[in-house]
Amino acid sequence: MSGEPFTWLTGEPDQVAPRLLGALVSTSRDGGVVTVRITEVEAYGGFDDEASHACAGPTRRNQPMFGPPGTVYVYLSHGLHHCLNVTTGTAGEPGAVLIRAGEVVEGIPLARARRGGRDRDLARGPGRLGQCLALSLDDTGTMLGHGVAIRAPAVPAGEVLRGPRVGVRRAADRPWRYWLAGDTTVSGYRRHPRVDSGPGLV
């Protein structure tokens, strides 16, 4: 009961990120369960990661990133999209993994009602995934296992590829995006229209 329930999430975000591939995220809302099998993730670090929300230190929004592993961090993107992160690292050492895409494996009718469009695209992208799971800002700061649950993959994921992160302006080339090779639910790579020149890899 007591102790560290989320040891599998403890460690550097880029080490933990691939462990989330194949894991099952679910919410139970509006009288139905929706479960997504994760196929794409992105790691975000702390003060040394220019692309991370935690880079400039703790604020009201990013507070959950400084919490213990297994903390849910949801942020609102462009006023429209609720994006899901899971905190990694250790308390006081900011780090998180953004759940970027997945395949809906349970509650497809409910996911369709919330999203529409092709089944393959239901959770293809962080905003769409958040909409599928009916996330809101009320989820941020909660612990996994309450509103949002994640089951670790029964077996380690198959072939994992990695590459630069999607849509970030700073540190755009740090290869901290991980996905399952050949999976059709992985989102398309989009580079930020105005990437800052600079270190990128450090």
Partner DNA sequence: ATGTGGATCATCT
Partner DNA sequence: GATGATCCACATT
Closest C-alpha among 155, 181, 130, 164 to residue 42: 164
Under the binding rule (CB under 7 A), the answer on residue 167 touching DNA is yes
> For DNA, which is the closer residue by CB, 60 or 146?
60
Mark 42-71 with x for binding to DNA (rule: CB under 7 A) and - for no binding.
x-x------xxxx-x--xxxx--x------
Mark 27-46 with x for binding to DNA (rule: CB under 7 A) and - for no binding.
---------------x-x--
> For DNA, which is the closer residue by CB, 62 or 71?
62
> For DNA, which is the closer residue by CB, 151 or 169?
169
Angle at 152 between CA 25 and CA 172, to 5 degrees: 70
Report the residue from 120, 151, 162, 169 that binds DNA according to the rule CB under 7 A.
Answer: 169
> For DNA, which is the closer residue by CB, 114 or 154?
114
Q: What Å distances lie between residue 112 and 5, 38, 39, 166, 185, CA to CA?
A: 33, 18, 19, 25, 15
Closest C-alpha among 53, 69, 76 to residue 19: 69
Part in contact with DNA (CB under 7 A); list of ranges 3-11, 14-22, 80-88, 106-114? 80-88
Under the binding rule (CB under 7 A), the answer on residue 165 touching DNA is yes
Phi-psi region of 118 (alpha: psi -120 to 50; beta: other; left: phi over 0): beta
# of chain residues touching DNA (CB under 7 A): 41
Under the binding rule (CB under 7 A), the answer on residue 184 touching DNA is no
Kindly state the DSSP code that residue 19 receives in the 8-state scheme.
G
Under the binding rule (CB under 7 A), the answer on residue 187 touching DNA is yes
Residues 6+ apart with CB under 8 A from 3: none
How many CB atoms are located within 10 Å of the residue 105 CB? 14
CA 18 remoteness from chain centre: 11
Give the residue carrying structure tokens 């989330």: 20
Min dist CB 167 to DNA, Å, is: 3
The contact set with DNA (CB under 7 A) reads 42, 44, 51-54, 56, 59-62, 65, 73, 75-81, 83, 85, 96, 98, 115, 117, 121, 125-129, 137, 165-169, 187, 192-193
